[in-house]
Structure formats: C-alpha cells, structure tokens
Copies of this chain bind each other. A is one copy, B any other.
C-alpha cells in the first residue's frame, strides 16, 4: 500500500466513525471519557515504558534538554491528561445546541442545530499530552480525530491513543474503533497526502511553531484553522490612567512572555508620552525587559535606560514575535495611528487599549481587526479557560470558522433541520 492509499484508508475509516459518533448519547460519551482517564492512570507504567523509548531515541538524536523535558511523561503529566479528560466529560455537550429557530409563514419549522464537524486532523509537535487533550475534545464534540504527532514522540503517542480507544471500546460496545486514530508513519509526505482527501477530511488544526503551521496551510486542500504567531500589542492612549496602563502593559508582556497572547509591541500616544513613558519603561525594565524603540522613544528614554536595555528597533523587529523579555515601543499620534499600525504589523490575535475615553475605546474595539480586543485589561486573557470555555484546543486568527480561543463549541458546525407537515414549494 503506498502512502496515499494508506492515508485514504485512515481517512475513510475516520469518516465512517464520524457517522457512528452521531449516534452516541452525551452520557455514553462522558462514560467513555472517564474510562479513558482511568485507563491512562491505570496504564501509567506501560505509558512510561513507551515514553522511555522516545526519550532514549531523543537523547541519541541529540534533542535539547528543553525538548526532552517536553517529551517526558512523568506521573504528574499522566495525571494531568486524565484530569483533562475528566474535565471535558464534565463540560456541556456542544452537539445539538439550538442556535436558531424560526417558523416560516408556510408552517415549516426551521432549527439551526450544532453538529460535529466530522473528521478533524490534528498535527502537532513534541508534547505527547496533546494526544489525549485533542482526542478528548474532538470525541466529546462528536468528531473523529486523526492525530499526527512529532516523530520524536511516536511511541508515547501510540500507546496513549491505543489506551484511549481500548478504554472506549471496553466501556461501550458501539464505540467506533476508528474514532481516534494516529498516523502510524513518520513520513512527512503523509501530511499533504492526508490533507488532499477533501471527501473524507473536514478540517485540519495544526499546533506548533510557525514553520510547521505554514507548511501545513500551504499544502492543505482541506480547511485549516490556525494562528501563525501572536504579535499582540497594548496601546496606551492620552486618556489612560498611568498606573493602569503600567499594570496592563507589564502583565501583557511579562506574565508569561513565551506564549502567543503576550505582547510584542507597546504603542504610546505621543500626547501622553511625557506623563507615562518613563514610568512604563521603568516598570518594564524592573522586570528585566529590553526595549526596542522608534527614534523618538529612544531619544526620550536614552538617559534613563539601564545598560543594554534600550535599542533602536529595526524594521524586522516590528514583525517579530520575541517570545522573550523584549518589547518594541513606538510613539503614535493618537488612537487612529495606533489602530492603523496594529492592523498592519500585528497578527490579528489580541490587542488592548488603555484609556478612560469611551469614544476612543469603542473606535479601537471596532476597528482593530483582531480575534480579541481589550479595553483596560491585559491581553493575557485570550485563552479558552479564561474565557470560560473550559479546555481549549487552540487559538485561531482566521475569520472563516472559529476565531479566537477554540473550545468544544468551536469544534462544531451546524445543520438546518426543517420539520414540516407535507409542505411543498408552490
């Protein structure tokens, strides 16, 4: 069997499973999820034995200590996966939600109902816990999943997927055997092959670095929901409260600089610069942040900066996601200029304004073309948990399909159900 045949078998099986999944009740799905959680904990030793093979191979292949750490499945991480599945079991079933209802003049009753999407491919990198997290969310939302993890985690991912399916089948005789499948081959060409099967695959969600995501988006013939990177920003308006501006900027940058909703650029209204810029910079420097400024910023802060903590920003810097304690700073002539620059240089992820001026805030919230826009709050809240969605499968900066944090509801599509009494069109 060549690669495209192998992927076609996998995808057809997933399609069949996706139809079987529509027949499971919420209670049946939840029982399976809880059994899967128990099985992960019960089979911890077996999972760790498989994980040891990956760790050994990773060491031989010279993976970095950080990579090896991400790969490792200790007891705590296995319990974390189990806890995640139990939490998903406790969440409301997103399938069958009534999204709209109307009765037409001819008496035809229309209901817009949430449905599973169908077959979802998840492509991800080294963390093997994604296998359980993604499979659990997709299963609860009635989708068949095809998982494609990194080759460095192949044994760990394999045993986790197997454990989940075995637990599901033991719990429920009608559990579809191919509801959760792992791509067995590590051949890179499997990805374009799988993502060419538009008859059987409905959606692909890649998770990982920008390179992986671009490669997936580039080759896919099925819809891809993704975000490439998080170039987020805070704009401090002339009408900002200086203390709030400082708290929001510092939190947005420093709370966890390595994640996508941390900011990379601070825009400061020139009209407020005298009053707030030194204080803002001082607070950021206190957290160890290196600032990269436009010429005006560099001039204004030149005498205040600790050694090595202020540089002129290059053209490239405005497009860079640092994922570390580096922050661009740029003075602008009011909100309109900030909005224009955010729409041009940002990645349409999360952007905040700090201001007491409601009219200015409303303009910013309306015109900034991002998945999440904040008025007087940190960008760090863009997160499924913080938004009250429960577990999150990712964040989207796309505009077709889900946008922003994606939880269970964002893993659904809809259908129109029409109930008649024999209506025909005249």
Q: How far is the CA of A118 from the CA of B401 in the complex (A)?
A: 14
Q: Indicate if the CB atoms of B374 and A418 lie closer than 8 Å.
A: yes
A369 lies within 8 A of B19 (CB): yes
Interface residues of A in 345-393 (CB under 8 A from B): 365-367, 369-378, 380-382, 386-388
Q: Is B381 a contact of A425 with CB atoms below 8 Å?
A: yes
Q: How far is the CA of A405 from the CA of B104 in the complex (A)?
A: 15
B244 touches A418 (CB 8 A): no
A128 within 8 A of partner (CB)? no
Number of copies: 2
A422 within 8 A of B: yes
Residue-wise, chain A 3-45 has the 8 Å CB interface mask toward B (1 for contact) of 0000000000000001100110000000000000000000000
Cβ-based interface call for A303 (8 A): no
- Chain B nearest CB, measured from A142 CB (Å): 10
Chain B residues lying within 8 Å of A382, measured Cβ to Cβ, are 416
Q: Is the CB of B202 within 8 A of A378?
A: no
C-alpha spacing A369/B413, complex, angstroms: 11
Q: Does A421 contact B (CB under 8 A)?
A: yes
**Contact between B377 and A419 (Cβ–Cβ < 8 Å)?**
yes
Is the Cβ of A420 less than 8 Å from the Cβ of B375?
yes
Whether A415 sits at the interface, judged by CB under 8 Å, is yes
Contact A378–B118 (Cβ < 8 Å) = no
Provide the bound-state CA to CA distance between A218 and B381, in Å. 38
Render A54-84 as a binary contact track against B, CB cut-off 8 A, 1 for contact: 0000000000000000000000000000000
Q: Is the CB of B110 within 8 A of A424?
A: no
**Residue A170 is within 8 A (CB to CB) of chain B in the complex:** no
The reply on A125 being an interface residue by CB < 8 A is no
Complex contacts, A198 vs chain B, CB 8 Å: 217
A18 CB → nearest B CB, Å = 8
Cβ-defined contact, A366 with B22, below 8 A: yes
A322, CB-defined interface residue at 8 Å: no
Question: How many residues does chain A have at the interface if contact means C-beta atoms less than 8 Å apart?
Answer: 68
> Contact at A225–B400, with CB atoms within 8 Å?
yes
Q: Is A414 an interface residue (CB 8 A)?
A: yes
A278: interface (CB < 8 Å): no
- Residue A223 at the B interface, CB < 8 A? yes
The answer on a CB contact under 8 Å between B102 and A375 is no
* B104 engages A388 (CB within 8 Å): yes
Q: What residues of chain B lie closer than 8 Å to A252, measured between beta carbons?
A: 424
A343 within 8 A of B: yes
Say yes or no for A158: interface residue by CB 8 A criterion.
no
Whether a CB of chain B sits under 8 angstroms from the CB of A423 is: yes
Q: Residue A168 at the B interface, CB < 8 A?
A: no
Question: Bound complex: CA of A419 vs CA of B417, how far in Å?
Answer: 36
Contact check, B419 vs A375: say whether CB atoms are below 8 A apart: yes
A380 contacts which chain B residues (CB < 8 A)? 424-425
Extra 4 A-B pairs, beta carbons < 8 Å, given A19-B340, A19-B369: A115-B399, A370-B415, A372-B416, A400-B413
* 26 interchain pairs, CB-CB under 8 A: A19-B340, A19-B369, A108-B381, A110-B387, A110-B388, A117-B399, A198-B217, A223-B223, A223-B398, A223-B400, A244-B422, A365-B419, A370-B415, A372-B416, A373-B415, A375-B418, A376-B420, A376-B422, A377-B419, A377-B421, A377-B422, A378-B423, A381-B425, A387-B416, A400-B400, A403-B413
